[in-house]
Structure 1
């Protein structure tokens, strides 16, 4: 995993958009992100350990490819790239391929781009504004973990999400309050 500030230059969202300004692990931790690098071979015990420690009870696998999604591919990619939050943590363990998670730094509101690769396990806290896109490989397969029943409900950024209780809890958890 590599994290840096997004350059905000218009163009293909799947390009790196690297501003050459790296983001430290301390900065990621300060906004509530967690990350592990777990090799794909023999990973199950470590994944199970993280799942047990964080209370994840369910899991499934998601594959995002042109071949797998067919005509829905471009629509799905555009939807994933809409700025949104979830009322649950978003947990992804990358099994194949790669992509970018962009998260909002608070209080600056700057985008931080996180390039995830095979073996990366990333946890985005509930209430953080973020978006996702593939990189130019155009494919990713990830294990998704859930605390309860699998669900993935995006709440696009708006005045309503700014006052959503999960958003407010997130802001309090990183020490900025509402």
Structure 2
């Protein structure tokens, strides 16, 4: 539903969606009080999405939707599982975007950032494995909240051309 694009116009719709979604999530992640013992942090990608949108003549819009802050380690890990897991799917999206003429320096910067280093995903998994007092149900609720936010962002408006 999200990464299926076979034309530049469909890709523009994807960039508009991912911009709304990552703006909301990067805003939440910016306000997280990170556990002191965590050496790992997620990658923010909104700025590179904004550059891609500019390349494609898209005006990014706020989804005017929000998500509750992740107030414990389990919830934070559940949310991050979704965000960081998207880097795996970004590898497929990057090749689809390349077929449309998108590159690491035009239109697909965010995909380049997300796929640059697989060790980032592996570092997150180590952080997840090392979590103490992990509450899987709490993590599951947070992960589902992130997916719900993504769906709301997809359903928001279509591409706004500047």
- Per the TM superposition, whether the score is higher than 0.5 is no
- Structure number with greater CO (CA < 8 Å, separation at least 6) is 2
TM-score band w.r.t. shorter chain: under 0.3
Looking at secondary structure, tell me which structure has more helix per residue. 2
TM, length-normalised to structure 1: 0.26
Looking at secondary structure, tell me which structure has more strand per residue. 1
TM, length-normalised to structure 2: 0.28
